[in-house]
Structure 1
């Protein structure tokens, strides 16, 4: 199973725009779940196809579309939501298409904190 997880990690590193991948117990990865299921049928009974979502993709809070954060944005979201990062915080709010009642720094930080909570609940 560790080999499959490593293969999945390697796959998403090489294909950062991929949304998900399907893996079989024997370590094969498929972009199409149908093909994964067909291959899986040749294996021992009781084995399931596992679907892995790209950990580098997050869903926008206001739409059901997936956006990809770059490393700088991930770092800001994780550790940089403090006063003094106004322009970066404002840009991230705009990128995620979060709605706020105004553009004050405290309001933008609150919106991003709420966004982080909703993303944590989805995981």
Structure 2
């Protein structure tokens, strides 16, 4: 039995996770947190603009994040992180040195598009 076998979920569990495409419209250094992070606003089209923070400072600067489309979970409960209320979770791959590579669509797509 593998580690993955111990963490199996049902299709219904997966269907509850709402992942959408959004475009980062603001990104700045999040000075109020312990671990290096950025606070961002992401445009999800008809779902509106959502705030979040992300520990992605090893590979990205705030300037290069502006205009980048990302994949995020948008149906978690809001979570207080320092002085902002996070409204979504940006997804990425975790590298060997704990650096996060953002998940992005291969071409431009409408903000709010659901991941299927």
**TM-score, structure 2 length as denominator?**
0.20
> Which structure is larger by alpha-carbon Rg, 1 or 2?
1
- More strand as a share of residues: 2
**TM-score, structure 1 length as denominator?**
0.19
